[in-house]
Structure 1
Amino acid sequence: MDEMQLLRDFAGPARLPAHDELAGTRADFVAGTTTRPRRHRRALRGGITAAGLAAAAAAVVVLTPAAPPAPPAETDPVRILYRAAAAARALPDVEPRPDQFVYTRTLLADGRENEFWVSADGTHDGLQVLFGHETEVAGCRDGKRVQKESRGRTATSRCEPRPAAHPDLPTDADAMLAYLHRSTYGEGDTLQDLGNEVVDLAGGYLRPAARAALYEAVAKVPGLVVRADAKDATGRPVLGITWNGTTEHGIGNQDEFLFDPVTFVYRGSGTTGAVLGHGIVDAVRQRP
């Protein structure tokens, strides 16, 4: 059978299309060839962008190292005190003028703040604000202190200047420990008295070498105890150091010397509170 004849019989006689018919068909063809690739290219570009972003995100995840775990808190009291001494030695060495004041602001656990302006050489009148009440602290001049009291009265007493800045403190640990044991102000020689003396010195202004010697002297005290999970009155994490001592009444020493767990800077004590501000100023009521 002739297949071509069958096609002719089915389709009828063939003819060439007219010119206007070809023009319309040609326009449809051109439109199809120009629009479809454009859509394809847009889709392709979008696909590449999405893939690139996914690859970038994957690269970030792969290349960014996980944060290292926080180092455990130091728990050796001697190491803490020696690191605190090293931090103290790195502080600027500034010697206050005799007519200046050491300013300190502290916060107690109950939320109350105290402020102190203490004469650098102990001879100028200072000021303390305790629990919201202001009291002038008379300096010691010519062996006498003339303290103002209520209703305009005054009280005169013999005295020795107690400078807030100690220019002649030892800068060696052993010499500093001997100085502490002499109990300069006559409190006694128990561990509690020693603690009081350390708190008094640490809360004042010490030049870097003397402050370092103070911490290293405390490191020689037996029975030191560390509280690595301590917090100061502001809620800041601190390292608390105290020792297993008893007072004459059999009460254990409850004071703590507080240090920053990262920088090992002194942050205050359990009794005097957290140190919020500290510095040298030229006048009472001035703040650094």
Structure 2
Amino acid sequence: MDEMQLLRDFAGPAGLPANGDLARKRAELIAATTARQPARRRHVLWGGLTATGLAAAAAAVVVLTPAGPAVSPGPEPRPATDPVWIMHTAAAKARALPDVEPRPDQFLYTRTRLADGRENEFWASADGTHDGFQVLFGHESEIAGCRDGKRVQQEGQGRTVTRQCTPHPAAHPELPTDADAMLAYLHKSTYGEGDTLHDLGREVVDLAEGYLRPAARAALYEAVAKVPGLVARTDAKDATGRAVLGITWNSTTEHGIGNQDEFLFDPVTFAYVGNGTTGAVVSQGIVDAVRQRP
């Protein structure tokens, strides 16, 4: 049987369509074929991802390129476990304090409190040459100044003892204000025990408990931030039981004796409040005379 003849008998004579009709029909055919293509074929556009992989990719797009304005998740939690952050924050707070330079004849007043509630008071000479005063566990005594290389100390039963000395000022007006220069200064230990972290800790405590102008105190804290092995203690308490931030490092004396220095800071103001061994600093200020309080 001639199939082509059957088609001609069924459809009748027909001429070729115009070129424009052919182009239009071709476009309609392609559009219809694409629309009817099974959905499973589209997976090829995603590189063959499974349903799980596709969901993960969609989620990643939402996170990395969010549509519309980004919503802030709120302030980042304070990194109180980062000792370097604590020291730099304490430095920034210190640098913002009023810059007051004590006169040589003034005194640094400090009141400390122990765990049992007892308090001690100290009036230390700003330049180290004037006679200071202390109330230590209820007992009053003079702190002789160092003048002309000699300290004349009053002792019991009216006796006096004269010793050679070097002035130990409570105020340090000429300290470095740069962290690296301060660190170099700290390494020049005055305690004669060598260049160890133990010596460094004693130097830091000695300066921190004295009076430092804001830029020098900030440099001191920034210098401590450079010391290796710092650890932050967020569960620390001072001698009065107050919650504080503690900064420690393990150190060893030149004789191999282990020691753990600790510096305590108020968790709100980041003010230095003690070293964990000599009592909590509860009041401090510059005064004009012994027995005077700020």
TM category, shorter: 0.7 to 0.9
Give unmatched runs, 5+ long, in structure 1.
1-67
The equivalent of 2:11 in structure 1 is none
Is 2:227 the partner of 1:209? Answer: no
Q: Which amino acid aligns with 1:190?
A: T
For the residue of structure 2 that corresponds to 1:254, the secondary structure is strand
Instruction: Confirm or deny: 8 A CA contact 2:84 2:225 kept in the other structure.
Output: yes
Task: Describe the shift of the 1:133–1:220 C-alpha distance in structure 2 as closer, same or farther (beyond 3 A).
Answer: same
Is 2:276 the partner of 1:274? Answer: no
The equivalent of 2:54 in structure 1 is none
- d(CA) in 1 for partners of 2:268, 2:289: 33
Task: Describe the shift of the 1:192–1:110 C-alpha distance in structure 2 as closer, same or farther (beyond 3 A).
Answer: farther
Match of 1:221 among 224, 227, 231: 227
Identity %: 82
Instruction: Confirm or deny: 8 A CA contact 1:237 1:261 kept in the other structure.
Output: yes
Instruction: Confirm or deny: 8 A CA contact 2:250 2:260 kept in the other structure.
Output: no
For the residue of structure 1 that corresponds to 2:260, the secondary structure is coil
Q: Which amino acid aligns with 2:220?
A: L
Cα RMSD for the two superposed structures: 1.9
The equivalent of 1:177 in structure 2 is 183
Deviation at 1:235, TM superposition (A): 2.1
Deviation at 1:247, TM superposition (A): 2.7
Instruction: Confirm or deny: 8 A CA contact 2:79 2:85 kept in the other structure.
Output: no
Q: Which amino acid aligns with 1:143?
A: G
The equivalent of 1:97 in structure 2 is 103
Match of 2:89 among 80, 83, 86: 83
The equivalent of 1:121 in structure 2 is 127
Q: Which runs of 4+ in 1 moved over 6 A?
A: none
Aligned length: 221
Give unmatched runs, 5+ long, in structure 2.
1-73
Deviation at 1:75, TM superposition (A): 0.7
- d(CA) in 2 for partners of 1:270, 1:190: 20
Is 2:243 the partner of 1:232? Answer: no
Q: Counterparts in 2 of 1:1-288, with a 5 A limit?
A: 71=77, 74-288=80-294
92-101 or 255-264: bigger deviation: 255-264
Instruction: Confirm or deny: 8 A CA contact 1:180 1:194 kept in the other structure.
Output: yes
Q: Taking structure 1 as the reference length, what is the TM-score of the superposition?
A: 0.72
Deviation at 1:250, TM superposition (A): 4.1
The equivalent of 1:4 in structure 2 is none
Q: What CA deviation, in whole Å up to 9, does each residue of 1:140-198 have, x standing for no partner?
A: 11111111111111111111111100111111111111111101343432211211111
Instruction: Confirm or deny: 8 A CA contact 1:223 1:245 kept in the other structure.
Output: no
Q: Which amino acid aligns with 2:101?
A: E
138-147 or 187-196: bigger deviation: 187-196
Task: Describe the shift of the 1:96–1:242 C-alpha distance in structure 2 as closer, same or farther (beyond 3 A).
Answer: same
Deviation at 1:113, TM superposition (A): 1.6
- d(CA) in 2 for partners of 1:239, 1:214: 17
- d(CA) in 2 for partners of 1:187, 1:227: 28
Deviation at 1:245, TM superposition (A): 1.8
Task: Describe the shift of the 1:110–1:188 C-alpha distance in structure 2 as closer, same or farther (beyond 3 A).
Answer: farther
Instruction: Confirm or deny: 8 A CA contact 1:104 1:275 kept in the other structure.
Output: yes
- d(CA) in 2 for partners of 1:242, 1:157: 35
Instruction: Confirm or deny: 8 A CA contact 1:73 1:261 kept in the other structure.
Output: no
Deviation at 1:210, TM superposition (A): 0.4
Q: What CA deviation, in whole Å up to 9, does each residue of 1:69-89 have, x standing for no partner?
A: 995561110110000000000
- d(CA) in 2 for partners of 1:136, 1:260: 31
